[in-house]
Amino acid sequence: MSERGVRVQQREQTRQALLREGRRLFSDRGYAAVSLAEIVLAAGVTKGALYHHFAGKPELFHAVLEEVQQEVGRRVAAVADGQDDPWGQFAAGCQEFLTAATDPDIQRIMLIDGPAVLGWAEWRAMDEAASGRHLADALTSLVDAGIIAPRPVAPLVHLLSGAMNEAALWLAASRDPGDLEHTREALRQLLEALRTD
């Protein structure tokens, strides 16, 4: 490998170490409780190396949040793809989003610290670009197939996204282990109410 290739590889390894350790620390203790010094120490790099990749802690958090959203998206897609029909894919994907979002590490980064650190408008834009777009595509396909009655999709996207995000936050504070199953059943009923049959 050329010298330039080695440098590119080292830079990527540094970036990945910062993302990995930033995610671990943010999910363990929350954004506000983590300092840049702790992140670079855990990653085994200098502050200069961090600033080479990110403008500061908020930009690192933004990158970590993007990574978490992509991970959740992959989980949702994998479960949805395991279903045979469009409705089954949609329903299974929504249920998997709820399950994934109840993971304490994902909750803290994606639902608790995300809006607080980035601000509501930026967080919403990221959420829409990630899960909102997939939800809109799925609902549009169901409307086109006649599985859901013809209607504007955008309101449904926002209502369902808001309901699932709020349910995940509520579950984060719940101490009753049965609440997840009760919430999953409530989501199932909510989704079934959209079907034309």
Distance from C-alpha of 191 to C-alpha of 187, rounded to nearest angstrom: 6
Residue that wins the pLDDT comparison between 1 and 100: 100
Looking at the structure, tell me whether residues 71 and 41 fall in a common domain. Answer: no
Strands (E), 35-178: none
pLDDT for the residue numbered 177: 84
Looking at the structure, tell me whether residues 169 and 77 fall in a common domain. Answer: yes
Looking at the structure, tell me whether residues 164 and 109 fall in a common domain. Answer: yes
Please count the structural domains in the chain. Answer: 2
Looking at the structure, tell me whether residues 25 and 111 fall in a common domain. Answer: no
pLDDT for the residue numbered 5: 75
Please name which of 13, 119, 114 lies closest in space to residue 68, comparing C-alpha atoms: 114
Distance from C-alpha of 150 to C-alpha of 50, rounded to nearest angstrom: 50
Domain containing residue 14: CATH number: 1.10.10.60
pLDDT for the residue numbered 16: 96
pLDDT for the residue numbered 138: 94
Q: How many CB atoms lie within 10 A of CB 146?
A: 10
Domain containing residue 151: CATH number: 1.10.357
| DSSP state string for 50-79 | HHHH-SSHHHHHHHHHHHHHHHHHHHHHHH
Give the tokens for residue 101. 């979002």
In a domain, 197, yes or no: no
pLDDT band at 6 (very low <50, low <70, confident <90, very high): confident
Looking at the structure, tell me whether residues 61 and 50 fall in a common domain. Answer: no
Looking at the structure, tell me whether residues 102 and 31 fall in a common domain. Answer: no
Distance from C-alpha of 65 to C-alpha of 131, rounded to nearest angstrom: 13
Looking at the structure, tell me whether residues 32 and 87 fall in a common domain. Answer: no
Which residues 6+ apart lie within 8 Å of 96 measured at CB? 75, 76, 78, 79, 80
What SS3 state is found at 111? helix
Give the tokens for residue 193. 């109410």
Looking at the structure, tell me whether residues 119 and 130 fall in a common domain. Answer: yes
Distance from C-alpha of 74 to C-alpha of 78, rounded to nearest angstrom: 6
pLDDT digits over 160-190, tens only?
A: 999 998 998 898 888 898 999 999 999 999 9
> Which of 20-29, 42-51, 98-107 has the weakest average pLDDT?
98-107
Looking at the structure, tell me whether residues 48 and 71 fall in a common domain. Answer: no
pLDDT digits over 45-88, tens only?
A: 999 999 999 999 999 999 999 999 999 999 999 999 999 999 99
Residue 25 belongs to domain spanning: 1-54
pLDDT for the residue numbered 68: 96
pLDDT for the residue numbered 15: 95
In a domain, 176, yes or no: yes
